[in-house]
Each structure stands twice: as C-alpha cells, then as structure tokens.
Structure 1
Amino acid sequence: MSIVRYSNPRANHGDSGAEVLVQGASVCADVAMLDSPKRKGTTWAPQGSTPVMEVTGKRFSLNMISALCAQGEFRFMVHEGAVTAIVFREFLSRLMPGASGPVFLVLDGHPVHKARLVQEFVKAQKGRLKLFYLPPYSPHQNPDEQVWAHVKRSVSRRLVQSKDDMKRLAIGALRRIQKLPALVKSFFRNPECQYASM
C-alpha cells in the first residue's frame, strides 16, 4: 500500500507526463468478531398470517482482521478461533509484500497488537513497518470500525443457519468492500478519521 501523488507535469521534464512519487502509507487496521446474529428487523407475511423466521438456536462466531488506507486499498483475513499474536503476525506478513514503501499502521491498544511476537516482527521489517496506537476508548477514530459496521449490517440482513453460511456471507461482504475503492475512501471522511488520510 502506498500513497501515490502526481506532481505537476509542466514542472517536470517537459512532456514526460505525471511523475509518480511513492511515499509511506498510513494504514488503519482492526480485529472484529462476528457472532451468530440475533434475528431482528422486519419481514413480511400474507395478510392475516404472523411472519415466522426459523432459526437453529446454535451459536457460532468468526474473527476478522482488516486493514485499509485512504487511497482505497483494503486487505482482510477471516479466521476461525481466537486472534492471537501468531494470527496477527500472519496477517502483517501478508500485508507487507504489497507495500512499496514504509507502512505506518494505526491500531487500537488491544494486547495482541502489542505482543512481543508482533514487536519482533515489526523490528525484523527494519523500518518498513511502524505501529502507532490510538488512545484508549477511541474506536471512533479508526476508520476500520466502519468496515465492521458495514459487514455486520450486510450479514444481519440474511438468514444464517451455520458457521459456513456466516463465513460465506462475511467473506462476500468483505470482497464487495475490497472491490469498491470509493467506499473504502468514504470511511476516512468522518472528521475524527481524517488524520489518517493526510
């Protein structure tokens, strides 16, 4: 992930066109859990009949990690089970190969984000990855929270009968976000998130 800026072509070498300057990217990341939805909302039935929605009564959950930048790039990973330092390090290792410059990763203060294993991985990147932490109790400053609201809203509109259903719906919602850079950019328009788009 990188910030790409186009300089004024007239200020360059005559007719060489826009020169691309690659700089460090501000990337926001977060971890979220999606659990089996509680049925709420509205539905319909023929007049005189009470609408009935059948549910399994089973509880299941899924963990997701994502990272996004103000240029519209979005990466994600879905994981069954707890997100540990090992899982988060794996996500970071998948994130780094796509970076053409240093990555400044903005995270909340979750213990996994500060784990020794993660810090060792960051150190091994030799300055290509730097972690910055949001103040406590400030999820509203992380644009990634809007990703989770979008995914949870999308999944809650569907009937989820199994963990596989939930995983399929979550991955579908995350892939839709990934294919819509304009939507990803819109997550940074909140005044409290604009710091990350500079």
Structure 2
Amino acid sequence: MIGPESLRAKKARGSDRKLSEAQLRELYALLVGADPRQLSFGFALWTRAMVGELIFRRFKIRVSVATVGRTLRMLGMSPQKPLYRAYQQNPEKVEKWKAETYPEIRRRAAQEGAEIFFADEAAIRTDFHSGTTWAPAGQTPVVEMTGARTSVMMISAVSPKGKLRFMVHDEGLKSEEFITFCRRLLDDTDGKVFLIVDGGRIHTSKMTRRFVQRTERLELFFLPPYSPELNPDEWVWKNVKRDRVGRQAVQSKITKSGQLRGAA
C-alpha cells in the first residue's frame, strides 16, 4: 500500500518491552553517570552483556543481548570509541585554564603582537601500523614492511589559525633539540612567540629556562598536568602516526636521497 496510510506507525513484532519508563530512566542515568567499575564490574567499558547483567542486578529482569542492544539504541546510545583521560587530571585547573588562563594569553598576544603556538613531541617507529584492509573472510592479509625497529623523533607547533612548523630528529629529543626548534620557530615568526607546552622535562629544564630568560621574543606557557586534550598539536601526531605513517608499509626511515622522511 502506497500513500499516507503506509507512513503510519505500526506496532513492531516481538515481545513487549520488559522495562518500564521509570526503569529505563534509571538505567540511562546509571550508564551515563557511572563508570562500570563503580558498579562492581571488572571492566571500564560497557558491553551489552554487562548492561544485561546490570539490568538483572537492578531490576531482577533477564533480557537477551539482542534485547539489550535494541534498548540501548532506543535510549539514544551507540557504540563509540572513548576518549581516555588520566585520573590524575585536576578538573578545577582545566576549567581555570579554559575560562581564565588561555583567554588572558590571547588578550596579551593581541595586545603585544605575539603569535600563539601549541607545541608537542612524539616518536614514530618503523614497525608501527594502524588501520584495517578488506580481504576474504578467514584469510588474514599480509603486508610486507621492514622488520627493523627504529624510531624517528618529531616536534611540531601549530597555531590557532592552523600554521604548522615541525622538525624531525634521528635520536631522542633533549633540551638542546627543543631549544633548536624554538630558535627556528622564532626565525620563521615576526614579533613575539607565545609557546604553549606541557610540563615535560625538556620544557622545564634549567637549560630551557635560561634560554627563555635570555630570549625576549619567546615566552613559555604551561598546560595543566595530564591534559593532552587541551593541546591541538596532539591532532597533528594523530594524523601523522595513525592516519598516515601507520597505514603505509614503511620500508626504511631514510629516503633514496639519504634524508629523513618528512625532514624540514
């Protein structure tokens, strides 16, 4: 039947809903407002089986895994990859950074003609890989790549306007390399640079502090501890490591020209 009559809601086949409206509201509040470990589960991520067990514990009602899935979708939920956050993070410091500290940095930058950059470091291994590929079911695909386990260290800075500066290094990054990067950043920037970093050792070392004190055009600002989500430069490394390099079959960290791949 075609026409307006066909659009009318029809009662779905199958058994009636087993949870009342009040029980559904309570279930939603438990799932959204609590970590599974707070409810005596052994894992930090909800599964349909765990939600089914929670329903039985709370309401003494047994439901199938399929019913749990339909119930969760009805509650407006979907399976998602969570963002992981360190439990040592201080929410009050994070909120103060958002509401007071960073707005003040922006105000000063505008007043003093400074450019803001967020900086971070990362390492990528030649044997790192990410992503998936299509293949016949039951036949695990094989991708040939180097078996050598070597690393390339990377440091970059990104501005709120999307300007990107980066440097790669063949060995571990120390204060000397961070200072070299800061010098290059200053050479490529007119006026002052307000550089926002985390409290890592190379950012707070005596050598780095002495360099900053002698450099009138550079000022460092520090993010709250354990708060990488406040640093947009984290997305640079996510793109490089997981979206780019991790999906390639790396043969060597050296190009045919003898240069590090991606070297500036």
What is the TM-score with the length of structure 1 in the denominator? 0.67
Distance, in Å, in 1 between the alignment partners of 2:159 and 2:219 is 15
Matched, 1:131 2:225: no
Deviation digits for residues 25-80 of structure 1, max 9, x if unmatched? 11110111111244453335689975322233221111001111112211110001
Amino acid at match of 1:148: W
Specify which structure has the higher proportion of helix.
2
Distance, in Å, in 1 between the alignment partners of 2:120 and 2:223 is 11
Which of the two has higher C-alpha Rg?
2
> Secondary structure of the residue that 1:32 maps to in structure 2?
strand
Deviation digits for residues 75-114 of structure 1, max 9, x if unmatched? 1100010100111111111111222222111001110011
Percent of pairs with identical residues: 44
Distance, in Å, in 1 between the alignment partners of 2:138 and 2:174 is 51
> Secondary structure of the residue that 2:184 maps to in structure 1?
helix
Cα RMSD between the aligned structures? 2.7
List runs of 5+ in structure 2 lacking aligned partners.
Answer: 1-105
Determine the structure 2 residue equivalent to 1:68.
158
Instruction: Classify 1:48/1:85 alpha carbon distance in 2 versus 1 (closer, same or farther; 3 Å).
Output: closer
Kindly indicate whether the alpha-carbon contact (under 8 Å) linking 1:29 and 1:106 is maintained by their aligned counterparts in 2. Answer: yes
Determine the structure 1 residue equivalent to 2:116.
26
Amino acid at match of 1:156: G
> Secondary structure of the residue that 1:163 maps to in structure 2?
coil
Instruction: Classify 1:137/1:51 alpha carbon distance in 2 versus 1 (closer, same or farther; 3 Å).
Output: same
Determine the structure 1 residue equivalent to 2:237.
148
Matched, 1:41 2:131: yes
Name the count of aligned residue pairs.
151
Determine the structure 1 residue equivalent to 2:187.
97
Instruction: Classify 1:22/1:122 alpha carbon distance in 2 versus 1 (closer, same or farther; 3 Å).
Output: closer
Determine the structure 1 residue equivalent to 2:174.
84
Bigger RCO (CA 8 Å, 6+ sep) = 1
Matched, 1:57 2:57: no
Specify which structure has the higher proportion of strand.
1
Q: Which moved more, 1:29-38 or 1:81-90?
A: 29-38
What is the TM-score with the length of structure 2 in the denominator? 0.51
List runs of 5+ in structure 1 lacking aligned partners.
Answer: 4-20, 176-198
Determine the structure 2 residue equivalent to 1:159.
249
> Secondary structure of the residue that 1:164 maps to in structure 2?
coil
Kindly indicate whether the alpha-carbon contact (under 8 Å) linking 1:22 and 1:100 is maintained by their aligned counterparts in 2. Answer: no
Distance, in Å, in 2 between the alignment partners of 1:63 and 1:167 is 11
Distance, in Å, in 1 between the alignment partners of 2:234 and 2:247 is 19
Instruction: Classify 1:112/1:159 alpha carbon distance in 2 versus 1 (closer, same or farther; 3 Å).
Output: same
Instruction: Classify 1:55/1:98 alpha carbon distance in 2 versus 1 (closer, same or farther; 3 Å).
Output: closer
Determine the structure 1 residue equivalent to 2:199.
109
Q: CA deviation at 1:167?
A: 4.2
